[in-house]
Structure 1
Amino acid sequence: MITLLIISCRSKFIRCDPCRLEFSSITAYEYHYESRHANVCSICQKIFPGAEWLKLHLDELHNVLLKLQKEKGGKIHKCYVETCSKYFSTPKMRRLHLIDKHKYPKHFPFDLVFTGTLTFEQLKKRDKKNKRRLKQREAIEMDVDKKPKRKNSFKQDPMDALAQEFNQKLKIPQTISFGRPTKPVLRKRQRKKKKDSAMDIE
Structure 2
Amino acid sequence: MKRSIGASGYDGRLDFTRKTADVGVTCQEHPCVNVYVPIELYQCHVQQYHDNRCVQCGKNLVTENFLRLHLEEMHNPFNSGDGIRYRCFEEQCDEAFYSHQERVSHAVKSHQYPESFDFDIVQNGQLFS
TM bucket, shorter chain: 0.7 to 0.9
Unaligned runs of 5+ in 2: 4-11
Say what the alpha-carbon RMSD is for the aligned residues.
2.4
Residue 89 of structure 2: aligned partner: 80
Q: Which runs of 5+ in 1 are unaligned?
A: 122-202
In 2, Cα distance between the equivalents of 1:60 and 1:5? 33
Structure 1 distance, partners of 2:60, 2:119, is 15
Q: Are 1:24 and 2:38 counterparts?
A: yes
Greater per-residue strand proportion: 2
Q: Which runs of 4+ in 1 moved over 6 A?
A: none
Q: Which has the higher contact order (CA 8 A, sep 6+)?
A: 2
- 1:36 partnered with 2:45: no
- Greater helix content: 1
Q: Which of 67, 76, 80 is equivalent to 1:63?
A: 76
2:61 to 48, 59, 67: 48
Q: Identity of paired residues, percent? A: 29
Displacement, 1:63?
0.4
Q: Looking at CA atoms only, which structure, 1 or 2, has the larger radius of gyration?
A: 1
TM-score for both structures, normalised by structure 1: 0.51
Give aligned pairs, total: 115
What SS is found at the alignment partner of 1:13?
strand
Q: Deviations over 1:11-52 (max 9, x none)?
A: 843221231122332x31112111111111111111111111
The secondary structure found in structure 2 opposite 1:113 is helix
Residue number in structure 2 paired with 1:89: 98
